């Protein structure tokens, strides 16, 4: 089953519960639903992780953890998937989100010349913020929905494959 494969990749929940920086979460980390891997917890965790990866703020892992705890879905999978958006992938992801948002709003995309100054940041982003945030929301929603159904399909295919494999061996 996919459960065994996924469990091999993830850290054991006791190590995470005992981590010194996570002690303040107390009993919330002891909820078995946060660590259990089944079709539903896996699919929902994929959706959470893929949605939060498009939230354009720092500390996405903390947000993914909070949402996973709130929705009681698999915590490690939710947090791991957030890392799809990293310093290397963020620029193309967020640029595509901006282009999508501008297209949906019917606004022509602006050519932006990047500078590392506070003045540039406040002046340049004010004109592109609305299409950017709309694009991020649309991309997050699309990827989380597609990810949810892809995870459901993956789990189903693997389960049927294992059933057939077991049937042939008997």
Residues 6+ positions from 60 with CB-CB distance below 8 Å:
52, 53, 82, 85
**Structure tokens of 127?**
């004109």
pTM of structure: 0.77
Q: What is the dihedral of CA 101, 104, 110, 115, to 10 degrees?
A: 0
pLDDT at 34: 74
- CA–CA distance, 73 with 77 (Å, rounded to integer): 9
pLDDT at 56: 87
- What's the pLDDT tens digit per position in 91-128? 889 889 989 999 999 888 777 666 666 676 667 667 78
> Is-contact 41 13, C-beta < 8 A?
no
- CA–CA distance, 47 with 142 (Å, rounded to integer): 10
**Structure tokens of 165?**
């494999």
Spans of the chain below 50 pLDDT: 1
> Is-contact 78 65, C-beta < 8 A?
yes
pLDDT at 45: 94
**Structure tokens of 5?**
């494969």
pLDDT at 126: 72
- CA–CA distance, 65 with 24 (Å, rounded to integer): 13
pLDDT at 107: 86
Nearest CA among 69, 67, 65 for reference residue 27? 69
Residues 6+ positions from 127 with CB-CB distance below 8 Å:
110
Q: How many CB atoms lie within 10 A of CB 66?
A: 15
- Could you say which DSSP state residue 11 is in? P
């Amino acid at each position: 089953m996919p459960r065994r494969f996924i469990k091999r990749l993830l850290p054991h929940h006791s190590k995470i519960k005992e981590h010194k920086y996570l002690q303040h979460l107390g009993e919330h980390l002891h909820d078995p639903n946060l660590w259990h891997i089944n079709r539903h917890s896996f699919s929902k965790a994929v959706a959470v992780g893929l949605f939060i990866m498009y939230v354009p703020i720092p500390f996405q892992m903390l947000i993914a953890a909070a949402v996973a705890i709130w929705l009681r879905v698999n915590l490690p999978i939710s947090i791991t998937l957030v890392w799809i958006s990293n310093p290397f992938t963020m620029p193309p992801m967020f640029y595509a989100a901006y282009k999508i948002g501008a297209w949906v709003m019917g606004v022509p995309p602006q050519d932006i010349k990047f500078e590392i100054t506070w003045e540039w940041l406040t002046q340049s982003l004010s004109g592109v913020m609305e299409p950017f945030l709309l694009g991020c929301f649309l991309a997050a929603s699309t990827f989380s929905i597609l990810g949810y159904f892809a995870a459901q399909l993956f789990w189903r295919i693997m389960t049927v494959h294992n059933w057939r494999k077991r049937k042939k061996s008997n």
